[in-house]
Amino acid sequence: MTRFTLLLTVFVVLAGVLAACAAPAAAPTAQAPSGPQGPGMGMGPGQGAATGMGQGMGQGASNSMGMGAGMGAAPGAGMGDSGAWMDDDGDMMGDDERMMDDEAMMWGQPVTAPGGVYRDISVDDLQAMLAQKDFLLVNVHIPFAGNIPGTDLSIPYNRIAAQAGQLPADKDTPIVVYCRSGAMSTAAAQTLVQMGYTRVYNLQGGFNAWQAAGLPLDMNP
Protein backbone atom coordinates (compact mmCIF):
# COMPACT_ATOMS: atom_id res chain seq x y z
CA MET A 1 0.00 0.00 0.00
CA THR A 2 1.35 3.40 -0.97
CA ARG A 3 1.75 6.21 1.51
CA PHE A 4 -0.97 8.15 -0.27
CA THR A 5 -3.50 5.32 0.08
CA LEU A 6 -2.68 4.88 3.76
CA LEU A 7 -3.17 8.55 4.44
CA LEU A 8 -6.50 8.54 2.61
CA THR A 9 -7.75 5.56 4.65
CA VAL A 10 -6.78 7.23 7.96
CA PHE A 11 -8.51 10.42 6.86
CA VAL A 12 -11.78 8.56 6.08
CA VAL A 13 -11.75 6.74 9.45
CA LEU A 14 -11.08 9.98 11.37
CA ALA A 15 -13.92 11.73 9.50
CA GLY A 16 -16.36 8.98 10.49
CA VAL A 17 -15.30 9.17 14.14
CA LEU A 18 -15.68 12.95 14.23
CA ALA A 19 -19.16 12.75 12.62
CA ALA A 20 -20.33 10.24 15.20
CA CYS A 21 -19.06 12.35 18.07
CA ALA A 22 -20.74 15.47 16.69
CA ALA A 23 -24.27 13.88 16.44
CA PRO A 24 -26.61 14.65 19.43
CA ALA A 25 -27.24 11.74 21.71
CA ALA A 26 -30.59 10.03 21.10
CA ALA A 27 -33.08 10.67 23.88
CA PRO A 28 -33.69 7.58 25.94
CA THR A 29 -37.09 6.01 25.48
CA ALA A 30 -39.37 7.17 28.27
CA GLN A 31 -40.98 4.39 30.24
CA ALA A 32 -44.43 5.40 31.24
CA PRO A 33 -45.02 4.71 34.87
CA SER A 34 -47.53 1.99 35.35
CA GLY A 35 -50.57 3.01 37.32
CA PRO A 36 -52.18 1.01 40.00
CA GLN A 37 -54.34 -1.89 38.95
CA GLY A 38 -57.98 -1.04 38.51
CA PRO A 39 -60.65 -2.53 40.75
CA GLY A 40 -61.38 -6.19 40.15
CA MET A 41 -65.13 -5.98 40.64
CA GLY A 42 -67.04 -4.40 37.81
CA MET A 43 -70.44 -4.18 36.27
CA GLY A 44 -70.75 -6.11 33.06
CA PRO A 45 -73.22 -8.13 31.04
CA GLY A 46 -73.98 -11.48 32.59
CA GLN A 47 -74.08 -14.80 30.88
CA GLY A 48 -77.79 -15.19 31.54
CA ALA A 49 -79.42 -17.79 33.70
CA ALA A 50 -76.89 -20.44 32.61
CA THR A 51 -73.89 -19.11 34.55
CA GLY A 52 -75.17 -16.16 36.52
CA MET A 53 -71.70 -14.49 36.23
CA GLY A 54 -70.45 -11.61 34.14
CA GLN A 55 -67.04 -10.21 33.20
CA GLY A 56 -66.50 -6.69 34.56
CA MET A 57 -63.79 -4.11 33.71
CA GLY A 58 -62.53 -1.64 36.33
CA GLN A 59 -60.87 1.66 35.34
CA GLY A 60 -57.82 2.48 37.50
CA ALA A 61 -56.63 5.96 38.50
CA SER A 62 -53.76 5.84 36.01
CA ASN A 63 -55.77 4.43 33.14
CA SER A 64 -54.64 0.92 33.88
CA MET A 65 -57.25 -1.65 33.21
CA GLY A 66 -58.27 -4.28 35.73
CA MET A 67 -60.20 -7.36 34.76
CA GLY A 68 -62.36 -9.23 37.20
CA ALA A 69 -65.42 -11.42 37.42
CA GLY A 70 -68.28 -9.15 38.27
CA MET A 71 -71.77 -9.69 39.42
CA GLY A 72 -73.25 -7.76 36.57
CA ALA A 73 -76.54 -8.19 34.83
CA ALA A 74 -76.46 -11.93 35.38
CA PRO A 75 -78.01 -11.89 38.86
CA GLY A 76 -80.65 -9.56 37.54
CA ALA A 77 -81.25 -11.88 34.63
CA GLY A 78 -81.31 -14.84 36.94
CA MET A 79 -83.78 -13.10 39.20
CA GLY A 80 -85.75 -12.11 36.18
CA ASP A 81 -85.83 -15.69 34.97
CA SER A 82 -86.83 -16.81 38.43
CA GLY A 83 -89.55 -14.21 38.44
CA ALA A 84 -90.75 -15.47 35.09
CA TRP A 85 -90.65 -18.99 36.46
CA MET A 86 -92.67 -17.86 39.43
CA ASP A 87 -95.04 -16.17 37.04
CA ASP A 88 -95.15 -19.37 35.03
CA ASP A 89 -95.82 -21.24 38.22
CA GLY A 90 -98.58 -18.80 38.91
CA ASP A 91 -99.92 -19.39 35.39
CA MET A 92 -99.60 -23.15 35.82
CA MET A 93 -101.46 -22.94 39.11
CA GLY A 94 -104.10 -20.97 37.32
CA ASP A 95 -104.14 -23.63 34.60
CA ASP A 96 -104.34 -26.36 37.23
CA GLU A 97 -107.34 -24.70 38.78
CA ARG A 98 -108.99 -24.44 35.39
CA MET A 99 -108.10 -28.08 34.71
CA MET A 100 -109.74 -29.03 38.00
CA ASP A 101 -112.83 -27.10 36.96
CA ASP A 102 -112.77 -28.80 33.57
CA GLU A 103 -112.25 -32.17 35.23
CA ALA A 104 -115.55 -31.70 37.04
CA MET A 105 -117.11 -31.37 33.60
CA MET A 106 -115.65 -34.74 32.64
CA TRP A 107 -118.16 -36.74 34.67
CA GLY A 108 -120.36 -38.87 32.47
CA GLN A 109 -120.90 -38.67 28.74
CA PRO A 110 -121.64 -35.54 26.71
CA VAL A 111 -125.01 -35.25 25.02
CA THR A 112 -125.63 -32.58 22.41
CA ALA A 113 -128.84 -30.62 22.88
CA PRO A 114 -130.28 -27.50 21.23
CA GLY A 115 -128.21 -24.62 22.56
CA GLY A 116 -125.37 -26.62 24.06
CA VAL A 117 -124.31 -29.83 25.76
CA TYR A 118 -125.26 -31.62 28.98
CA ARG A 119 -123.74 -34.80 30.39
CA ASP A 120 -125.35 -38.10 31.35
CA ILE A 121 -123.88 -39.40 34.60
CA SER A 122 -124.16 -42.76 36.35
CA VAL A 123 -125.01 -43.55 39.96
CA ASP A 124 -121.30 -44.09 40.61
CA ASP A 125 -120.53 -40.68 39.13
CA LEU A 126 -123.13 -39.01 41.32
CA GLN A 127 -121.78 -40.74 44.44
CA ALA A 128 -118.27 -39.48 43.64
CA MET A 129 -119.59 -35.97 43.03
CA LEU A 130 -121.54 -36.01 46.29
CA ALA A 131 -118.32 -36.81 48.17
CA GLN A 132 -117.16 -33.26 47.36
CA LYS A 133 -120.45 -31.60 46.63
CA ASP A 134 -120.14 -28.31 44.80
CA PHE A 135 -123.29 -28.44 42.66
CA LEU A 136 -127.03 -27.96 42.89
CA LEU A 137 -128.96 -31.27 43.07
CA VAL A 138 -132.52 -30.92 41.73
CA ASN A 139 -135.31 -33.48 41.81
CA VAL A 140 -137.52 -32.83 38.77
CA HIS A 141 -139.83 -35.84 39.11
CA ILE A 142 -143.58 -35.38 39.51
CA PRO A 143 -145.38 -36.45 41.53
CA PHE A 144 -143.02 -36.65 44.48
CA ALA A 145 -141.72 -40.18 45.07
CA GLY A 146 -138.64 -39.59 47.19
CA ASN A 147 -135.37 -37.61 47.22
CA ILE A 148 -131.81 -38.69 46.82
CA PRO A 149 -130.03 -37.59 50.02
CA GLY A 150 -128.38 -34.20 49.45
CA THR A 151 -131.15 -32.89 47.16
CA ASP A 152 -131.33 -29.07 47.23
CA LEU A 153 -134.50 -28.34 45.26
CA SER A 154 -137.60 -30.00 43.88
CA ILE A 155 -138.82 -28.36 40.65
CA PRO A 156 -141.16 -30.15 38.21
CA TYR A 157 -139.35 -30.89 34.97
CA ASN A 158 -141.97 -28.93 32.98
CA ARG A 159 -141.65 -25.89 35.28
CA ILE A 160 -137.90 -25.37 35.04
CA ALA A 161 -138.08 -22.23 32.89
CA ALA A 162 -141.08 -20.83 34.76
CA GLN A 163 -139.30 -21.22 38.10
CA ALA A 164 -135.92 -19.94 36.90
CA GLY A 165 -135.82 -17.61 39.90
CA GLN A 166 -135.01 -20.62 42.11
CA LEU A 167 -131.96 -21.44 40.02
CA PRO A 168 -128.50 -19.83 40.36
CA ALA A 169 -127.95 -16.60 38.46
CA ASP A 170 -124.46 -17.81 37.55
CA LYS A 171 -124.97 -19.92 34.42
CA ASP A 172 -121.68 -21.77 35.07
CA THR A 173 -123.00 -23.26 38.31
CA PRO A 174 -123.05 -27.08 38.10
CA ILE A 175 -126.60 -28.48 38.25
CA VAL A 176 -127.52 -32.17 38.51
CA VAL A 177 -131.11 -33.15 37.71
CA TYR A 178 -132.81 -36.50 38.30
CA CYS A 179 -136.26 -38.11 38.22
CA ARG A 180 -137.54 -41.65 38.66
CA SER A 181 -136.17 -43.23 35.48
CA GLY A 182 -134.40 -40.45 33.55
CA ALA A 183 -137.02 -39.33 31.03
CA MET A 184 -138.21 -36.24 32.90
CA SER A 185 -134.69 -35.26 33.90
CA THR A 186 -133.58 -35.50 30.27
CA ALA A 187 -136.23 -32.95 29.33
CA ALA A 188 -135.16 -30.77 32.28
CA ALA A 189 -131.49 -30.97 31.23
CA GLN A 190 -132.35 -29.88 27.70
CA THR A 191 -134.31 -26.93 29.06
CA LEU A 192 -131.42 -25.85 31.30
CA VAL A 193 -129.03 -25.96 28.34
CA GLN A 194 -131.41 -23.81 26.30
CA MET A 195 -131.50 -21.36 29.22
CA GLY A 196 -127.73 -20.98 28.94
CA TYR A 197 -126.49 -23.21 31.76
CA THR A 198 -123.13 -24.68 30.81
CA ARG A 199 -122.59 -27.41 33.41
CA VAL A 200 -125.71 -29.56 33.42
CA TYR A 201 -125.76 -33.25 34.45
CA ASN A 202 -128.55 -35.79 34.08
CA LEU A 203 -128.69 -38.92 36.26
CA GLN A 204 -129.21 -41.89 33.97
CA GLY A 205 -131.80 -44.31 35.32
CA GLY A 206 -132.94 -41.80 37.93
CA PHE A 207 -133.53 -42.82 41.48
CA ASN A 208 -134.64 -46.25 40.27
CA ALA A 209 -130.99 -46.89 39.40
CA TRP A 210 -129.98 -45.29 42.70
CA GLN A 211 -132.15 -47.71 44.68
CA ALA A 212 -131.04 -50.64 42.53
CA ALA A 213 -127.49 -49.91 43.67
CA GLY A 214 -128.66 -50.40 47.26
CA LEU A 215 -128.68 -46.69 48.08
CA PRO A 216 -131.43 -45.08 50.16
CA LEU A 217 -134.07 -42.51 49.27
CA ASP A 218 -135.33 -39.82 51.59
CA MET A 219 -139.09 -40.12 51.54
CA ASN A 220 -139.72 -36.78 53.25
CA PRO A 221 -140.76 -34.14 50.70
Instruction: State yes or no: is 21 an active-site residue.
Output: no
Q: β-strands 54-59, 65-70: how paired?
A: antiparallel
CB 116 within 8 A of CB 128: no
Continuous H helices in 23-72: none
The residues, any chain, with a CB within 8 Å of residue 67's CB and separated by 6 or more, are 40, 55, 56, 57, 58
Burial 167-204 (b: 16+ CB within 10 A, else e): beeeeeebbbbbbbbbebbbbbbbbbbeeebbbbbbbb
CB 195 within 8 A of CB 165: no
DSSP 133: -
User: Using CA of residue 193, residue 140, residue 179, residue 215, what is the dihedral sign?
Assistant: positive
Q: Which of 140, 179, 189, 193 is catalytic?
A: 179
Residues carrying an active site annotation:
179
